[in-house]
């Protein structure tokens, strides 16, 4: 296996933020997301020769990112981390300690709700809401029919909002 | 959650969720951009000279020997079970049983008796006398055997069944077939 040439490397790197967003959605914090993003790119470089349709580079890359993140999720399920680490810095901005506390609590609930989704719903939700993929791209990444994607996404959204309301 | 619950509260909550995700993503991207991802990636690629292969996990490294041991154990256990089962189904041939069965055959009983007589007679008599006696006994034995073969078994008495091995022992071990062929040999010559 050979590393991709400079042109292909640049082409892949252009999608680094898309990959990072997906990794952030699957993981629990920025540091993990960066590591996952790096792993996904290294895997992609290793398999660059396998890419049959250069036009679908982004979809191919996001598919690798998804697989990498799911593998990571499986490992983390056996070794869970404290969800207190997941609150973004922006939430800590602020005006009063009460607001900070409330915002932090909301982020924690959101993370818990996403993590508690069934895998199939979670991956659709993360790819859509964090990765910003269109329905068509979601269907291509997950190799599903668009109807299936929409139905899973709908169920995931309902579950997330229900979990957020209950708390 | 009710399936029909698609009203404003749900949409509001969904919007709130989207806003939170947007905040989280923006914060993450800000930090991601601050780090030099490309140089970090290239360094990681250099650290792994074969480019990009990851060190296999412990399970991946160990699965081949584990799999080999498992297959070996299964093969050995299967072989042991098969041999023990075969032994129970096909017990070792008991020559004593075969011998007893052969001795119970009327024709062979006579044959073995004639063999004994022939042997004892040959020890005391001259060669010509012994040969004459032997011919006479053989003839008598053949007559008795032929008579018993043609006569039907008595009602209510079980006809003994022999395995192929027993039959072969009877035919070849006691030279019966050879004797029968030698009888026909001279007649074929005459024809």
Give CB contacts under 8 A, 24+ apart, made by A52-61. A56/A140, A57/A11, A57/A12, A57/A15, A58/A15, A58/A18, A58/A137, A59/A137, A59/A140, A59/A141, A61/A12, A61/A15, A61/A18, A61/A19
Residue B166 and residue B101 in contact, taking contact as beta carbons nearer than 8 Å: yes
Answer whether residue A123 shows pLDDT above 80: yes
Q: How far apart are CA A107 and CA A126, in angstroms?
A: 15
Q: How far apart are CA B50 and CA A102, in angstroms?
A: 48
Q: How would residue B45 be classed by pLDDT, with cut points 50, 70 and 90?
A: confident
Residue B117 and residue B137 in contact, taking contact as beta carbons nearer than 8 Å: yes
What backbone phi and psi angles, to 5 degrees, belong to B130?
-60, -40
pLDDT value at position A140?
92
Which residues 6+ apart lie within 8 Å of B174 measured at CB? Answer: B102, B108, B111
Sign of CA dihedral A72, A75, A78, A84: negative
Q: How far is B57 from chain A (nearest CA, A)?
A: 12
In the structure encoding, which two tokens stand for residue B191, read together? 């024809």
Q: Could you tell me which residue, B126 or B56, shows the higher pLDDT?
A: B126
Chain A residues whose beta carbon lies within 8 Å of the beta carbon of residue B43:
none
Q: Of the ranges A13-22, B109-118, B127-136, B149-158, which is most confident?
A: A13-22
pLDDT value at position A106?
83
Cβ pair B24:A41 closer than 8 A: no
Considering only CB atoms, A42 lies closest to which of B14, B16, B52, namely B52
Q: Could you tell me which residue, A91 or A62, shows the higher pLDDT?
A: A62
pLDDT value at position A163?
87
Please indicate if any CB of chain A lies within 8 Å of the CB of B17.
yes
Please indicate if any CB of chain A lies within 8 Å of the CB of B25.
yes
Which residues 6+ apart lie within 8 Å of A47 measured at CB? Answer: A1, A64
Which residues 6+ apart lie within 8 Å of A29 measured at CB? Answer: A85, A86
Please indicate if any CB of chain B lies within 8 Å of the CB of A37.
yes
Answer whether residue A83 shows pLDDT above 60: no
Please indicate if any CB of chain B lies within 8 Å of the CB of A151.
no
- Put simply, the chain A residues between 69 and 98 with a CB less than 8 A from any chain B CB are 88-91
Chain B residues whose beta carbon lies within 8 Å of the beta carbon of residue A42:
41, 44-45, 48, 51-52, 54
Q: How would residue A64 be classed by pLDDT, with cut points 50, 70 and 90?
A: very high
């Amino acid at each position: 296996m050979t590393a991709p040439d400079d042109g292909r490397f640049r082409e892949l790197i252009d999608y680094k933020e898309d990959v990072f967003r997906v990794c952030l959605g699957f993981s629990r914090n920025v540091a993990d997301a960066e590591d996952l993003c790096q792993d996904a790119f290294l895997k992609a470089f290793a398999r660059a020769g396998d890419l049959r349709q250069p036009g679908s580079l982004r979809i191919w890359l996001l598919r690798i990112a998804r697989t990498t993140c799911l593998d990571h999720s499986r490992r983390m399920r056996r070794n869970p981390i404290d969800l207190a680490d997941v609150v973004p810095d922006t939430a800590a901005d602020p005006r009063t300690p009460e607001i900070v506390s409330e915002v932090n609590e909301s982020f924690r609930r959101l993370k818990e709700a996403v993590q508690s989704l069934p895998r199939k719903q979670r991956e659709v939700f993360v790819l859509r809401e964090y990765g910003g993929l269109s329905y068509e791209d979601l269907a291509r990444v997950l190799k599903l029919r668009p109807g299936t994607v929409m139905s899973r996404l709908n169920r995931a959204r309902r579950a997330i909002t229900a979990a957020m309301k209950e708390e | 959650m009710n399936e029909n619950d698609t009203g404003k509260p749900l949409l509001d909550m969904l919007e709130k969720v989207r806003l939170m995700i947007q905040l989280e993503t923006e914060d993450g991207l800000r930090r991601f951009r601050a780090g030099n991802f490309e140089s970090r990636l290239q360094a990681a690629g250099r650290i792994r000279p074969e480019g990009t292969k990851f060190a296999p996990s412990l399970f991946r490294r160990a699965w081949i020997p584990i799999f080999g041991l498992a297959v070996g154990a299964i093969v050995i256990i299967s072989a042991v079970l098969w041999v023990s089962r075969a032994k129970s189904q096909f017990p070792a041939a008991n020559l004593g049983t075969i011998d007893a069965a052969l001795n119970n055959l009327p024709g062979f009983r006579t044959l073995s008796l004639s063999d004994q007589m022939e042997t004892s007679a040959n020890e005391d008599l001259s060669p010509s006398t012994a040969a004459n006696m032997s011919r006479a006994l053989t003839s008598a034995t053949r007559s008795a055997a032929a008579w018993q073969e043609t006569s039907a078994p008595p009602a209510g008495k079980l006809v003994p069944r022999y395995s192929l091995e027993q039959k072969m022992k009877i035919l070849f071990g006691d030279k019966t077939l050879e004797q029968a062929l030698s009888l026909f040999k001279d007649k074929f010559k005459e024809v």
